[in-house]
């Protein structure tokens, strides 16, 4: 029992360290992308900033759930999925607003910021992927970072088209694409949490009910 407890503590300690790192990186990305999005008048960058903001909340939930009961892990995962769906609706609303009110995105800034964000999100995916787990809560966190990386690629491509054509439609289109990716990720997370049966992902030692 003592060895099992020590092994559990070591795993949860590693998970918490990684989640703290990816949380800090996502908070940094929120500040960078939001500022760049306003500067470049870009739906895609604003969507990325909102995405990373929702990620930061999810990683905070994941940190709280690490080492706790399966019920807590499922709650954190479900909250993550709902947050992604809310974020998707928010991006759709911003895209519609810019479509009707007009915008003048700057392609070069979009591309530069997308490359920086992609590098940071790829690091987050790698860090989370190194964790050995069968945990619905951590799978949700990994889904978020993977979605971010995909969204960064979309903003990079859209920025290139904006710079090439001088038109705003690629920026609006990538906003819709980011919303679609977020909605799919949210639905996948909710389905994963629903499929998780009692005890299936609970890696706590027996007798630990905290």
128 in Cβ contact with 163 (< 8 Å): no
Residue 210: its pLDDT value, please? 42
For residue 110, which of 168, 62, 44, 24 has the smallest C-alpha distance?
44
**Local confidence band at 201 (pLDDT 50, 70, 90 cut-offs):** very low
Q: At what angle do helices 43-65 and 2-40 cross, to 10 degrees?
A: 160
Q: 87 is written with which tokens?
A: 């974020």
Is pLDDT larger for residue 16 or for residue 138?
16
Residue 190: its pLDDT value, please? 81
Which residue matches tokens 């290139």? 160
Count CA atoms closer than 13 A to 102's CA, side-chain side: 1
| 92-126 pLDDT per residue, tens | 888 888 888 878 889 999 999 999 999 998 898 88
User: Quick one: 152 exposed, middle or buried, by C-beta within 10 A (0-12, 13-18, 19+)?
Assistant: buried
Helices H / strands E in the chain, number of each: 6, 0
Residue 136: its pLDDT value, please? 63
Tell me the CA distances in angstroms from 67 to 9, 145, 170, one per residue in order.
Answer: 8, 21, 43
| 57-98 pLDDT per residue, tens | 777 777 776 666 667 667 777 777 787 788 888 888 888 888
Assigned CATH topology for domain 2-195 = Alpha-lytic protease prodomain-like (1.20.1510)
Count CA atoms closer than 13 A to 166's CA, side-chain side: 0
Provide the whole-model pTM: 0.71
Dist. CA 15–CA 130, nearest whole Å: 10
Most confident of 7-21, 43-57, 155-169, 175-189: 155-169
């Amino acid at each position: 029992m003592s060895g099992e407890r020590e092994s559990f503590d070591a795993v949860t300690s590693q998970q918490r360290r990684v989640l703290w790192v990816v949380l800090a990186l996502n908070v940094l990305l929120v500040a960078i992308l939001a500022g760049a999005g306003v500067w470049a008048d870009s739906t895609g960058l604003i969507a990325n900033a909102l995405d990373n903001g929702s990620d930061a909340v999810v990683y905070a939930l994941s940190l709280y759930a690490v080492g706790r009961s399966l019920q807590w892990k499922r709650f954190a995962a479900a909250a993550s999925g709902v947050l992604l769906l809310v974020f998707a609706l928010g991006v759709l609303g911003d895209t519609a607003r810019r479509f009707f009110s007009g915008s003048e995105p700057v392609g070069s800034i979009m591309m530069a910021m997308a490359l920086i964000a992609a590098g940071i999100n790829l690091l987050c995916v790698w860090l989370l992927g190194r964790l050995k787990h069968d945990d619905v809560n951590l799978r949700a966190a990994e889904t978020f970072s993977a979605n971010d990386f995909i969204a960064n690629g979309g903003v990079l491509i859209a920025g290139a088209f904006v710079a090439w054509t001088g038109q705003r439609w690629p920026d609006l289109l990538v906003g819709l694409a980011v919303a679609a990716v977020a909605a799919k990720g949210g639905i996948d997370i909710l389905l994963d949490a629903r499929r998780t049966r009692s005890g299936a992902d609970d890696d706590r030692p027996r007798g630990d009910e905290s």
